[in-house]
């Protein structure tokens, strides 16, 4: 008799589980950590590039001051590096702005919740959209930063 009850209960659970579908749960802390990590990486890269630009510009300035002919090699290459760093920094600014915008949107969407469930459709879709856009921004930043290294 117990075997029959167990079998019936198992079949009932399978059928009701199949009808209702699965509910996915995502911890919001994972999203917060990923966003914070991306923001920190961008900030660190921007700081490093600004420092590099300043150092190279100072070197070039002191060389000019000391009377070096900056039109002869290797000085033009140094000027090109400074210019390239400026371009890379300009390309990173909109990426960093988008990451900041997505971080704010994520914060507003999840609030103080610890978890987001897939049965909360509007919020779940918004979080998934933010996640996909954040991944795209991360890839774009990596692509730009490869040229810096």
Q: What is the pLDDT of residues 62-86, one digit of tens each?
A: 888 888 887 888 888 888 888 999 9
More confidently predicted of 73 and 144: 144
Find out whether 67 and 99 touch, Cβ atoms under 8 Å: no
pTM of the shown model: 0.77
Q: How far apart are the first and last CA of the chain?
A: 71
Give the CA dihedral 51, 52, 55, 58, nearest 10 degrees: -110
Exposed/middle/buried for 34, CB within 10 Å: 0-12, 13-18, 19+?
A: middle
Mean pLDDT across the chain, nearest whole number?
A: 87
State how far the Cα of 78 lies from the Cα of 52, in Å rounded to an integer. Answer: 11
State how far the Cα of 100 lies from the Cα of 94, in Å rounded to an integer. Answer: 10
- pLDDT at residue 69, rounded to an integer: 80
Q: What are phi and psi of 111, to 5 degrees?
A: 60, -130
Q: Which residue has the tokens 């919001």?
A: 28
């Amino acid at each position: 008799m117990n075997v029959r009850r167990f079998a019936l209960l198992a079949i009932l659970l399978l059928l009701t589980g199949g009808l209702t579908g699965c509910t996915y749960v995502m911890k919001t802390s994972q999203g917060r950590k990923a966003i914070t990590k991306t923001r920190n990486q961008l900030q660190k890269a921007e700081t490093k590039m600004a420092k590099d630009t300043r150092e190279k510009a100072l070197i070039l300035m002191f060389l000019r001051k000391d009377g070096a002919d900056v039109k002869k090699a290797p000085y033009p290459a140094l000027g090109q590096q400074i210019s390239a760093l400026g371009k890379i920094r300009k390309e990173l600014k909109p990426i960093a702005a988008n990451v900041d915008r997505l971080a704010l949107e994520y914060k507003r969407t999840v609030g103080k919740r610890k978890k987001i469930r897939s049965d909360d459709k509007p919020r779940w879709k918004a979080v998934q959209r933010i996640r996909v856009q954040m991944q795209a921004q991360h890839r774009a930043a990596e692509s730009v930063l490869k040229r810096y290294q």
